[in-house]
Chains A and B, each alone.
Chain A
């Protein structure tokens, strides 16, 4: 029986090994060598790591990345819960609502970037027309850092709130009606019902929502690249864009070390969050 189990899982193992283990080993290998534009690699130990961690450009991109990801979470999670609570739970409007919410999630990142680039275009785009018409403000995504960062932020909120809302909708649907009836009999206020009935029950989906949103927003790449090419200056250059720029100029040692540090940061943040949340969750259940 055991041999048969191995035969069944071997395709999965082979494909994951090919795509995950071999490249990650190669990245570690690059990160320990110095090579430039095809010269023979020379072993340099952890020098590349020191170079990355003392590079102000890398640290700047990392800082912007953290600010961006936390801002995204702070806005998307509460709004997502609120929107899910307004969704119809049954009846004929459920289907259309789900389809409309799902559409943005299936638009490729490049296309989302392009869509917003068209809307944000200087003078011609609807966003700049809106600002100049209602506020007399001259909106310039390519030159003004506030406009550029704001546009990317609103874009991400627009693209991904549906995901949070869909997850919370599934979570809300799983709460049995008697819970709310019991709360109503006890005379609980709207806020108390939300705090002590709804929120604890949403915990598992909220953990997924925070993890997915954190790791995906930490990897934002195509949208700022298409809209402003990471500019103005470095204002929209987030970590993925910065590292891939170095990788594309064949600085393999630097890019390898930066990638490995990058991966380590994402995995560490997610792991800490995940263990803390599941551990406190156990205490709640009693």
Chain B
């Protein structure tokens, strides 16, 4: 048992090292990064962060990224909650085939979709808008959210619904007063996964935007290939800025994370 614990701690150190390295690099001066190997910055500097938060190229894309991710979470939940309710109450329970169909939505290689996606969203006049990216990300987020919510809803006895309707509750009032409080953890987990997959997705976001709604992942990709790519301090600071939102979200759902990834199959 002791040996396993030591192995785990070693693994955590290795896992955290790249992130630690980025954090300290982002506080180092250019000279220190290039000419020294230091495990703690000698001359502390905030200038990389200052540069990011005063340059509209970075701040605009950060706002764009957060906008479409939040929109996507809202759209996903609005569509998936009634959908999952229908699946859990009136129709079949999740069979293996439904499960597999759900996964196929994650299997589609994005390279296959970029051209038809671009054309479709161009026709819908949603090209280069945050809303367009948010709707496109529903491709993989909605099936996942339906699956997670269906699991949480099926755990709640049907009798609760029936009693509420006999007591004269309308659908709206039943959802608001009775059902939502009961499935609140499920909604939280579904929102977390919608956030995660929309936040990390690159290819669709890249092909559906050009300038107005350009997200952070694209700006970073372009900058890394250009001159900025050799300014390691700036690039490290950008990396740290992109890690922070994820770390915050992980903190709130840490106890449900594993259950969510296993799609309720534990």
Chain A residues within 8 Å of B, Cβ to Cβ: 1-2, 4-5, 7-9, 11-12, 15-16, 18-20, 22-24, 26-27, 30, 82-83, 85-88, 95, 97-111, 113-119, 121, 124, 126, 129, 158, 161-163, 166-167, 169-171, 173-174, 204-205, 208, 211-212, 215-216, 218-219, 221-222, 225-226, 229, 239-240, 243-244, 247-248, 252, 255-256, 259-260, 262-263, 266-267, 270-271, 274, 278
Find chain B residues with CB under 8 A from A119 CB: 18, 21
Q: How far is it, in angstroms, between the C-alpha of A119 and the C-alpha of B37 when the chains are bound?
A: 12
Chain B residues within 8 Å of A, Cβ to Cβ: 4-9, 11-12, 14-16, 18-19, 21-22, 25, 33-34, 37, 75, 78-80, 82-83, 85-87, 89-91, 96, 100, 103-117, 119-120, 135-136, 138-139, 142-143, 146, 196, 199-203, 216-218, 220-221, 224-225, 229, 232, 235-236, 238-239, 242-243, 245-247, 249-251, 254-255, 257-259, 261-263, 265-266
- Do the beta carbons of A15 and B224 come within 8 Å of each other? no
Find chain A residues with CB under 8 A from B100 CB: 270-271, 274
For the A-B complex, the count of residue pairs with Cβ-Cβ distances under 8 Å equals 277
Q: How far is it, in angstroms, between the C-alpha of A87 and the C-alpha of B247 when the chains are bound?
A: 20
- Do the beta carbons of A100 and B12 come within 8 Å of each other? yes
- Do the beta carbons of A99 and B107 come within 8 Å of each other? no
- Do the beta carbons of B15 and A101 come within 8 Å of each other? yes
Q: How far is it, in angstroms, between the C-alpha of A177 and the C-alpha of B36 when the chains are bound?
A: 52
Tell me the minimal C-beta distance from B1 to chain A in angstroms.
9
Q: How far is it, in angstroms, between the C-alpha of A85 and the C-alpha of B20 when the chains are bound?
A: 25
Q: What 7 new A-B contacts, CB under 8 Å, besides A100-B12, A221-B111, A270-B100?
A: A18-B135, A22-B120, A85-B4, A107-B200, A107-B242, A111-B238, A114-B239
Given A16-B142, A83-B11, A100-B15, A174 and B266 contact (CB-CB distance below 8 Å): yes
Q: Given B14, B18, B78, B103, which contacts A270 in the complex, CB threshold below 8 Å?
A: B103
Q: Which of B6, B109, B229, B238 has the most CB of A within 10 A?
A: B109
Chain B interface main SS type: helix
Q: Given A9, A166, A225, A266, which contacts B107 in the complex, CB threshold below 8 Å?
A: A266
**Nearest A residue (CB) for B232:** A118
- Do the beta carbons of A99 and B79 come within 8 Å of each other? no
Q: How far is it, in angstroms, between the C-alpha of A111 and the C-alpha of B217 when the chains are bound?
A: 7
Find chain B residues with CB under 8 A from A83 CB: 7-8, 11
Given A97-B12, A107-B246, A204-B266, A114 and B261 contact (CB-CB distance below 8 Å): no
Q: Given B15, B82, B139, B257, which contacts A8 in the complex, CB threshold below 8 Å?
A: B82
Q: How far is it, in angstroms, between the C-alpha of A240 and the C-alpha of B135 when the chains are bound?
A: 23
Q: Given A27, A108, A244, which contacts B217 in the complex, CB threshold below 8 Å?
A: A108
- Do the beta carbons of B224 and A114 come within 8 Å of each other? yes
- Do the beta carbons of B82 and A158 come within 8 Å of each other? no
Tell me the minimal C-beta distance from B125 to chain A in angstroms.
14
Find chain A residues with CB under 8 A from B22 CB: 115, 118
Given A105-B196, A259-B111, A226 and B224 contact (CB-CB distance below 8 Å): yes
5 shortest interchain CB distances as A-B pairs = A106-B246, A259-B112, A86-B8, A170-B258, A26-B116
